[in-house]
């Protein structure tokens, strides 16, 4: 789960990491009130779950409540890489002397947290890695040891942080690692991590991603979920415990198992179609869950045909068939459905479908044939 900047900073502040004083605003009036409250120069920042806000005009430094209101008016509703700006963070402007970059990522390859620090902050870290690899310090933390003071010392030395600044920076690095470890984060990134003119440090941005599998023990983070930012189908899928990712084509896809569904999405594209979504009903899905999943896939207006691709292991073919037939009974299914059933109880499932003889359903033997039929049917409707 990705957090907004202001939410990440809330976690930072709880861990004693300095952040600029700020207020969240959902309207221009609220932004004005926030600027009044904070006094002086403020920064108005779009809160969207994507990068590149600055370039898109989503960050403005202004003087006083009136200009803050005007800035908020411009930024609210702004489309930043497909994300509509619905909330703002209004912060007290700070006197920046230097911009650094610090992150903790979950390095899958090494199976250890990876610390990265560079004094070339503010810019894209991938560009630093490419153009100035010697300036990007990288250090793994052995999970058996956890973060120790020496990690920070070594990292700051590798990054050539001026010696006089290290005493002030070290506790921030340690505290940010604390957020990573205690909050089940997959990513904690601060860019820029700024040195102020008084030689103290402050986290001027916060990019935090929390492990979805750990949200049960991070209830305050779960409560931060921005429902408005989620696609309605993705939201409904999450509530039904389905893995759903919206794509932009017209062939709806439903299957069991992430790998098989990913593969199905590929095959639809390979036979000339456009996948509308990725939808994994998971292992052992019940008839009811199958019906719910179909409803979600069809609630996307663009969908013109649906491909059901099931290779049963835990999932049973007869259950899938019952779910599908049940869904057809309950709701008016507006698009043709192509079914491919294989694996556990597939013969029973196919027999149930043949018996019902629903005109909406076409049964195919193989994944490839099913994909071709689904694409052809979508084309006929469109």
Partner 1 sequence: MAVIATADTRLVVQGITGREGAFHALRNRAYGTQVVAGVTPGKAGEDVEGIPVFDAVADAVDRAGANTSLVVVPPRFAAEAILEAADAGVEQIVCITEGIPAHDMLEVYHYVRPRGIRLLGPNCPGALSPGIANIGIVPAEVFSPGPVGLVSRSGTLTYQIGGELAAAGLGNSTIIGIGGDPVVGTSFIDVLDLFEADPETEFIVMVGEIGGTDEEKAAEVIAERITKPVVAYIAGFEAPPGKTMGHAGAIISGSSGTAAGKQAALEAKGVPVGTNPTEAARLVVERLGR
Q: Backbone phi, then psi, for 142, in 5-degree steps?
A: -65, 120
Q: Quick check: 255 binds partner 1 (CB under 8 A)?
A: yes
Q: Quick check: 144 binds partner 1 (CB under 8 A)?
A: yes
CB-nearer residue toward partner 1: 260 or 356: 260
CB-nearer residue toward partner 1: 36 or 342: 342
Q: Which of 10, 99, 101, 372 is catalytic?
A: 101
DSSP assigned state of 200: -
* Beta-ladder partners of 106: 113
Answer for which of 66, 149, 232, 283 binds partner 1 (CB under 8 A) is 283
- What are the start-end ranges of the E strands in the chain? 22-25, 41-46, 59-63, 79-80, 83-84, 88-92, 96-107, 112-118, 137-140, 185-196, 201-203, 207-210, 243-246, 251-255, 277-280, 305-312, 337-343, 361-363
Answer for which of 13, 262, 351, 363 binds partner 1 (CB under 8 A) is 262
Q: Quick check: 357 binds partner 1 (CB under 8 A)?
A: no
Q: Quick check: 226 binds partner 1 (CB under 8 A)?
A: no
Q: Quick check: 69 binds partner 1 (CB under 8 A)?
A: no
Q: Quick check: 368 binds partner 1 (CB under 8 A)?
A: yes
Q: Quick check: 349 binds partner 1 (CB under 8 A)?
A: no
20 close to 34: Cβ distance less than 8 angstroms:
no
The span from the CA of 307 to the CA of 250, in Å, is 11
Closest CA to 374 of 249, 246, 251, 260: 251
Answer for which of 63, 142, 329, 355 binds partner 1 (CB under 8 A) is 142
* Shortest distance in whole angstroms from residue 118 CB to partner 1: 16
The span from the CA of 87 to the CA of 48, in Å, is 8
CB-nearer residue toward partner 1: 235 or 263: 263
CB-nearer residue toward partner 1: 95 or 109: 109
- Kind of pairing between the strands at 201-203 and 96-107: unpaired
Asked if 364 is an active-site residue, the reply is: no
Asked if 101 is an active-site residue, the reply is: yes
Q: Quick check: 267 binds partner 1 (CB under 8 A)?
A: yes
CB-nearer residue toward partner 1: 274 or 358: 274
Q: Quick check: 259 binds partner 1 (CB under 8 A)?
A: yes
The tokens for 112 are: 């250890």
Q: Which of 5, 91, 99, 189 is catalytic?
A: 189
75 close to 46: Cβ distance less than 8 angstroms:
yes
Q: Quick check: 112 binds partner 1 (CB under 8 A)?
A: yes
Answer for which of 91, 205, 280, 300 binds partner 1 (CB under 8 A) is 280
Between the alpha carbon of residue 373 and those of residues 140, 252, 293, 328, 366, the distances in Å are: 50, 13, 21, 20, 11
Exposed e or buried b for every residue in 281-302, given b needs 16+ CB within 10 A?
Answer: beeebebebbbbbbbbbbebeb
Answer for which of 212, 220, 329, 355 binds partner 1 (CB under 8 A) is 212
CB-nearer residue toward partner 1: 5 or 280: 280
Answer for which of 8, 252, 275, 349 binds partner 1 (CB under 8 A) is 275
CB-nearer residue toward partner 1: 1 or 34: 1
**Per rule CB under 8 A, count of chain residues that contact partner 1:** 52
Q: Quick check: 278 binds partner 1 (CB under 8 A)?
A: yes
102 close to 179: Cβ distance less than 8 angstroms:
no
350 close to 361: Cβ distance less than 8 angstroms:
no
The site map against partner 1 for 71-110 (x = CB under 8 A) is: -----------------------------------x-xx-
* Shortest distance in whole angstroms from residue 115 CB to partner 1: 14
Closest CA to 302 of 354, 337, 252: 252
The span from the CA of 230 to the CA of 226, in Å, is 7
What residues make contact with partner 1 under the rule CB under 8 A? 106, 108-109, 111-113, 126, 142-144, 181, 184, 186, 211-214, 216-217, 243, 245, 247, 255-263, 265-270, 275, 278, 280, 283-284, 311-314, 342-344, 366-368
Q: What are the catalytic residues?
A: 101, 189
């Amino acid at each position: 789960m990705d957090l907004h900047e202001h939410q990440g900073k809330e976690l930072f502040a709880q861990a004693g990491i300095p952040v600029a004083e700020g207020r969240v605003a959902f309207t221009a009036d609220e932004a004005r009130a926030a600027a009044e409250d904070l006094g002086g120069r403020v920064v108005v920042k779009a809160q969207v779950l994507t990068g590149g806000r600055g370039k898109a005009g989503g960050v403005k430094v202004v003087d006083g409540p009136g200009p803050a209101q005007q800035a908020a008016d411009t930024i609210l509703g702004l489309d930043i890489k497909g994300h509509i700006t619905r909330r703002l963070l209004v912060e007290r402007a700070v006197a920046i002397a230097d911009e650094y970059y610090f992150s903790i990522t979950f390095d899958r390859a090494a199976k250890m947290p990876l610390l990265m620090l560079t004094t070339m902050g503010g810019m894209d870290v991938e560009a630093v890695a490419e153009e100035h690899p010697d300036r990007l310090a990288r250090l793994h933390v052995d999970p058996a040891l956890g973060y120790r003071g020496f990690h920070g010392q070594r990292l700051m030395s590798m990054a050539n942080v001026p010696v006089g600044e290290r005493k002030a920076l070290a506790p921030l690095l340690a505290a940010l690692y604390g957020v990573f470890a205690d909050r089940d984060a997959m990513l904690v990134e601060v860019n820029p991590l700024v040195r102020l003119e008084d030689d103290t440090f402050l986290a001027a941005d916060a990019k935090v991603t929390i492990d979805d599998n750990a949200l049960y023990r991070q209830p305050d983070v779960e409560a931060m979920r921005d429902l408005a930012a989620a696609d309605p189908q993705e939201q409904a899928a999450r509530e039904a415990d389905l893995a759903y990712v919206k794509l932009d084509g017209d062939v709806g896809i439903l299957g069991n198992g992430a790998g098989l569904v990913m593969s199905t999405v590929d095959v639809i594209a390979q036979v000339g179609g456009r996948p509308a979504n990725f939808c994994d009903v998971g292992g052992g899905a019940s008839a009811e869950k199958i019906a719910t999943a179909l409803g979600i896939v069809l609630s996307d207006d663009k969908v013109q045909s649906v491909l059901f691709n099931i290779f049963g292991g835990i999932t049973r073919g007869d259950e899938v068939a019952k779910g599908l037939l049940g869904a057809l009974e309950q709701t008016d299914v507006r698009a043709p459905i192509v079914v491919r059933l294989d694996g556990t109880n597939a013969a029973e499932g196919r027999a149930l479908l043949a018996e019902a003889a629903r005109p909406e359903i076409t049964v195919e033997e193989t994944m490839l044939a099913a994909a071709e039929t689904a694409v052809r049917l979508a084309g006929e409707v469109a």
